Structure 1
Amino acid sequence: MRQNPERRAALLDAAIEVLAREGSRGLTFRAVDEAAGVPKGTASNYFANRDDLLTQAGARVYERLQPDNATVTMALEGPRDRARLTALMRDLVERISAFPSGHLALLELRLEATRRPRLREILTRQIRDDLEANVDFHVKTGLPGDATTVVLLYLALNWLILDRLTLPEVISEDRIPALVETLVERLVPTD
């Protein structure tokens, strides 16, 4: 297997775009090579098989969705109140929505995981670890609410993002900030 990290990242980014555009059935080494603009056969030099490509693409989505240092710093500065949590949740919705192919690729991977036990195992671990890290961060930083609050926000915001990316006419774009604010207001105890 080839080890050029930049080329591997470019191939994984191309795989994400193919997953989002064509679904998991359209994800082939040839389609990834074409999307990445590399010679035929390049992807097969970097990934042992299709399962390897699928799982590494999922990991790459999570890598790209990680908040930047400014977002983490914002969470740690100033008061730890509902207003701060609302700002963080709005940022989360915007950050994930700004990478629509990543979120759509993850949805495709989740569907594919229903047919591939190894992929299910890997995605379950990745998503569970991510959720647990979010709960841990929330509790350690002293933001209002508890672990259940974080899980409820995770569930509700994931569906809001799904609608925004797949059926944007269901909820108008201008309503989203107020919905996020109301969600936090109703789930989080008063300051």
Structure 2
Amino acid sequence: MSIHKAERRSVILAAVIELLATKGIGGVTHRAADHAAGLPQGSSTYYFPKKSDLLRATAVHLAAELAKDCDELQIAFSDIVAKQGLDRAIDYVALQLVESLAQAKHLQLARIELMLAAARSDDLTDLATLLSVAGRRPIEFFVSLISNGQSQTAIDTCVGLIDGIALMYVTGQGAKPSAAQVATVLKSIVKTNDNTTLSRTD
């Protein structure tokens, strides 16, 4: 595939994400995708003949967008732990989560639309798992950084709580979470882990 083709595909998929976030699944058509991408009519149909093809490719593209930047953040986290301690590093993680949530609100809305579409279409069923994992990955990534060997159940509970708060915010059902609120949830993991360690040594 030429660079030109790869770029055009990316432009189309980014446009579909915006359509999903602003107009919902019903607003996604090949014609609308071409218009939103600023490309000639027929462009999206050339790459993705069926709507299910277009939605599937968008889901994969969206999953990659939701999961990116984790490597750089891990380096920053490790540096803060080494220089300022775990508490300050957790505050940093909480701030990054809140900021990324605000910046990626449209991605989360698109994720919800695609997950609903996947639940209603046999052709797209597998996308629900892909998007669920991708949407939670940044949160799970941060939680795993501070969990220090904590049980998977505790991690899953923490991730589910933060993900639920995030989804309430992006759908307008709740206020934007503060870094302090998220930090409190994250620090509960560390506290639980410390208590578990103490009970094992008693």
TM-score, with normalisation over the residues of structure 2? 0.77
The 5 A counterparts of 1:92-111 are: 92-111=97-116
Moved more, 31-40 or 55-64: 55-64
Which amino acid is the alignment partner of residue 155 of structure 1? G
2:183 matched residue in structure 1: 181
Contact 2:119/2:128, CA 8 A, preserved across alignment: no
- 1:84-123 → structure 2 map (5 Å cutoff): 84-123=89-128
Deviation at 1:95, TM superposition (A): 1.2
- 1:34 to partner: Cα distance: 0.8
Aligned residues of 1:97 and 1:161 also touching (Cα < 8 A): no
Q: Report the aligned-residue RMSD.
A: 3.0
Deviation at 1:75, TM superposition (A): 2.9
Q: 1:22 and 2:27 equivalent? A: no
- Structure 2 residue runs of 5 or longer lacking an equivalent are 195-202
Question: Structure 1 regions of 5+ residues with no counterpart?
Answer: none
Q: Is 2:11–2:37's contact at 8 Å kept on the other side of the alignment? A: yes
Number of the residue aligned with 2:8: 7
Query: Alignment partner of 1:39: what SS?
Result: coil
Q: Name the amino acid aligned to 1:117.
A: D
Q: Per-residue deviation at 1:126? A: 5.1
Question: Greater CA radius of gyration, 1 or 2?
Answer: 2
Contact 2:97–2:139 (8 Å) recurs in 1: no
C-alpha distance after superposition, 1:144-181 (max 9, x if no partner): 3342333223211212222222227x33x4x6122112
Separation in structure 2 between the aligned mates of residue 132 and residue 70 of structure 1, nearest angstrom? 15
Partner of 2:43: 42
Higher helix share: 2
* Closer, same or farther: CA 69–185 of 1 in aligned 2, 3 Å: closer
Q: What does residue 73 of structure 1 align with?
A: 75
Q: What is the Cα deviation at residue 78 of structure 1?
A: 4.4
**TM superposition shift of 1:132:** 7.6
